[in-house]
Amino acid sequence: MNQTQNILDVTKEQSEKKLMLEIVDLRKSFGNNHVLNGFNLELFEGENLVIMGKSGSGKSVMIKCLVGLMQADSGSIKVMGKDITKLNRVELDNIRTEIGFLFQGNALYDSMTVRENLEFPLRRHKKKFENLTDTTPLITEALESVGLAHTVNLMPSELSGGMKKRIALARALILKPKIILYDEPTSGLDPITSKEIIELMRRVQKQYKTSSLIITHDVDCARVVSERMILLVDGTNYAEGTFTELASSNDEQVKAFFK
């Protein structure tokens, strides 16, 4: 009875919140390899949603379809109510300013300084900020939010792995997006730096009031940041719930994720 009430409460709470991302029946194949088989997702305003799945389960393909880096075979992807599969290049670029993307390998432009890395997204989207003549305050604010204001003139090659991740996050935040996509935010980092990045993700979410979609293998990361989780198996939603609900599941496949 209590559990039913809880589900009803959560559903009511979610229906009152704005839907930021909605994926319906997403399918993507590469030849005979069906990577996504009718994947569904809803991300609400201010929510932290974690997607966990084994390697090759379609997580990265899904996130690439979400930002238009890959074309899905079928299904719809709505970002703040707009179906991105039906947008032209200019409309897609405009909607992309509302999405920050933290790449697994950081993807910092290695021929540019930290400042130029952060300035790059602003080049074509200055109109998002009224009367923006000087980009320095925005850059300083983004760098301060990740605690690396002193690195502004350094090259990416002069930074450690954790610092690169923070700068990549600062770049994802520079356009003040409403949604942030994290692709394996703690991969390749030592446990201490991973904890710092997880803490930073929580802090940034509070400061910028973003909705976050986090793809990860890291159970610790999922435990700390998730409000809701989806387990992706063979390109489709296998299980959904809070971390506690899934961690205490009796299903063998679900249990395997938390071992």
Contact positions vs another protein (CB under 8 A)? 64, 67-69, 89, 93-94, 96-97, 99, 101, 103-105, 107-111, 120-121, 123-125, 171, 175
What's the rounded Cα separation, in Å, for the pair 160 and 252?
Answer: 39
Backbone phi, psi, residue 77, to 5°: -125, 110
What's the rounded Cα separation, in Å, for the pair 116 and 143?
Answer: 12
Question: Distances in Å between the alpha carbon of 56 and those of 61, 217, 232?
Answer: 9, 12, 10
CB of 197 to another protein, least distance (A): 18
**84 exposed, middle or buried (CB, 10 Å; 0-12, 13-18, 19+)?**
buried
Give SS3 for 108.
coil
CB of 62 to another protein, least distance (A): 15
CB of 176 to another protein, least distance (A): 13
CB of 192 to another protein, least distance (A): 25
CB of 249 to another protein, least distance (A): 34
CB of 2 to another protein, least distance (A): 43
- State which residue, 4 or 133, has the beta carbon closest to another protein: 133
- State which residue, 77 or 254, has the beta carbon closest to another protein: 77
- State which residue, 108 or 246, has the beta carbon closest to another protein: 108
- State which residue, 41 or 66, has the beta carbon closest to another protein: 66
Residue 18 DSSP class = P
- State which residue, 171 or 228, has the beta carbon closest to another protein: 171
Residue 19 DSSP class = E
DSSP letters of 11-73? HHHHHHSPEEEEEEEEEEEETTEEEEEEEEEEEETT-EEEEEE-TTSSHHHHHHHHTTSS--S
Contacts of 87 (CB under 8 A, 6+ apart): 68, 95
CB of 103 to another protein, least distance (A): 5
Length of the chain as a residue count: 259
Instruction: Supply 28's token pair.
Output: 């993507």
